[in-house]
Amino acid sequence: MENVVYFDKCGDHTEEVLEFCKRYAEANNIRDIVVASTTGKTGLRASEVFKGYNLVVVTHCAGFREPGRLELNEAYKSAIEGNGGKILVATHALSGVERAFKKKFDTIGPVEIIANALRCFGEGTKVCVEISLMAADAGLISVDKDVICVAGTSRGADTALLIKPAYSMNFFDLRVRKVLCKPTDF
């Protein structure tokens, strides 16, 4: 199973992405899945598809869109955890404190340059790399084995990568091994 799924349009292709990733995981004995999910809707569906796997659902940190607010829906969170998934609420690895410099001084640093370079391959690609770093930093996945990371361009999933993760402090040890799914217009 070495095909890549390409979508003509970016956006919500969650069902196709998760089903393809499930087949790939089964065929290649991959047990660690990391999924980006803002509200938890994509994470909930992933927790149903990947029941019994080490599933990490990564969501935005508090205050990302609005001060004092988490965007993760509590009902989705409970259901994900009920299905055995783990929730990670953390600062984005490829922005974090650098975003404060952007807001205050209208400039960017090297981490945001990396993020923007990754966006040349699509928003989902940047997010897949980022969530693998975040999950590794939190100790929720091992950096010694490949993981499948799933993300999207706005809502839902449209991108999946096979990644050998690294801790943020060892960013340049991270390897994108394979593209599994990706939109062609982004």
Q: What band does 139 get if pLDDT is binned at 50, 70 and 90?
A: very high
Which residues, including other chains, have CB under 8 Å from residue 169's CB and lie 6 or more apart?
none
What's the pLDDT score for residue 117?
Answer: 94
Q: In angstroms, rounded to a whole number, what is the distance separating the alpha carbons of residues 15 and 156?
A: 9
Listing DSSP states for the chain in one string gives: ----EEESS-S--HHHHHHHHHHHHHHHT--EEEEE-SSSHHHHHHHHHTTTSEEEEEEPPTTSSSTT---S-HHHHHHHHHTT-EEEE---TTTTTHHHHHHHHS---HHHHHHHHHGGG-HHHHHHHHHHHHHHHTTSS-TTS-EEEEE-SSSS--EEEEEE---GGGGGG-EEEEEEEEES--
pLDDT at 92 over 80: yes
Options 3.40.1380.20, 3.10.20.10, 2.60.40.10, 3.40.50.300; CATH of 5-183: 3.40.1380.20
pLDDT in tens, 119-132: 999 999 999 999 99
Average pLDDT of the residues in 2-14: 90
* CA within 13 Å, CB half, 36: 31
What percent of the chain lies above the pLDDT cut of 90? 78
Q: What is the mean pLDDT of the chain?
A: 93
- 28-67 confidence digits (pLDDT tens): 999 999 999 999 999 999 999 999 999 999 998 776 677 8
Is the pLDDT assigned to residue 2 strictly greater than 70? Answer: no
pLDDT (average), residues 154-171 = 96
pLDDT score recorded for residue 1: 53
Question: Which pLDDT value is given to residue 173?
Answer: 98
Rounded to whole angstroms, the Cα distance separating 24 from 77 reads: 26
Mean pLDDT of 143-154: 96
C-alpha count within 13 angstroms, C-beta hemisphere, residue 185: 5
Rounded CA-CA distance 56/128 in Å is 12
| Span 60-87, average pLDDT | 87
